[in-house]
Amino acid sequence: NAGVTQTPKFQVLKTGQSMTLQCAQDMNHNSMYWYRQDPGMGLRLIYYSASEGTTDKGEVPNGYNVSRLNKREFSLRLESAAPSQTSVYFCASREGGEQYFGPGTRLTVT
């Protein structure tokens, strides 16, 4: 039982490049989330998916897109990376009220 997994762990992009961050959970949770964490700003919600087939914007969705591929997988795509998207990205899944986080992806955009 791996919980929430994320790939890759680290990534460096040049401005304008695109990439997809992958997230998967094996806990059969309905809800999944993408957050970014920046120093001094705490965790901010990018997008969430209440259930398979639905996605909704969070606090900071600009520059991102998401896909809830099935119940297990929720991916985050950066179409044209910008230096302001340098951050640590966490995926989480939710059971009842409690969220469980993946190990994170550290992204640097130069």
Partner 1 sequence: QKEVEQNSGPLSVPEGAIASLNCTYSDRVSQSFFWYRQYSGKSPELIMSIYSNGDKEDGRFTAQLNKASQYVSLLIRDSQPSDSATYLCAVNSGTYKYIFGTGTRLKVLA
Q: How far apart are CA 1 and CA 72, in angstroms?
A: 13
97 binds partner 1 (CB under 8 A): yes
Q: Which of 24, 29, 90, 93 binds partner 1 (CB under 8 A)?
A: 90
Could you tell me the smallest distance in angstroms from the CB atom of residue 47 to partner 1?
11
Q: Does 31 sit near partner 1 (CB under 8 A)?
A: yes
- Examine residue 58 and tell whether it contacts partner 1 (CB under 8 A): yes
Residue 16 Cβ, how far from partner 1 at the closest point, in Å? Answer: 28
Q: Is 53 in the site for partner 1 (CB under 8 A)?
A: no
Instruction: Answer yes or no: are the C-beta atoms of 34 and 55 closer than 8 Å.
Output: no
Stretch that binds partner 1, among 13-21, 41-49, 61-69, 79-87 (CB under 8 A): 41-49
Residue 37 makes CB contacts below 8 A (sequence gap 6+) with 43, 44, 87, 88, 89, 90, 104
Assess contact for 90 and 35: CB atoms under 8 A. yes
Q: Is 6 exposed, middle or buried (0-12, 13-18, 19+ CB in 10 A)?
A: buried
Per CB under 8 A, residues contacting partner 1 are 31, 33, 40-45, 48, 50, 56, 58, 90, 94, 97-104
